[in-house]
Amino acid sequence: MTNYIKKYKMIGIFSGLGALAGYAYYYFVGCADGTCAITSNPINMTLYGTFMGGLLGDMFRK
């Protein structure tokens, strides 16, 4: 179990940071008129940030 955690630790960290960044983007920038598909909904933007953070974290995995 600890080997699994060590192997995917960076993906988890970057996914969490991506989720925070995605929600922060929604909160501070967002979409003014509500027609944007991703940025008009906090759940969509948080999931998008999580996914992108996971992809970024996977780049640093050995």
Contact 45, 5 (CB under 8 A): no
The string of pLDDT tens digits covering residues 6-22 is 889 999 999 999 999 99
Predicted pLDDT at 35: 84
Residue 57 resides in a domain: yes
- Residue 9 in any domain: the answer is no
Q: Is residue 47 part of a domain?
A: yes
Structural domain count of the chain: 1
Question: Is 35 a member of any domain?
Answer: yes
Q: Is 28 within the bounds of a domain?
A: yes
Q: Is residue 61 part of a domain?
A: yes
Cβ atoms < 10 Å from Cβ of 13? 14
Range of the domain at 39: 23-62
How far from 3 is each of 6, 7, 8, 21, 22, CA to CA, in Å? 5, 6, 9, 28, 29
Q: Is residue 1 part of a domain?
A: no
Which regions in the chain score pLDDT beneath 70? none
Q: Is residue 5 part of a domain?
A: no
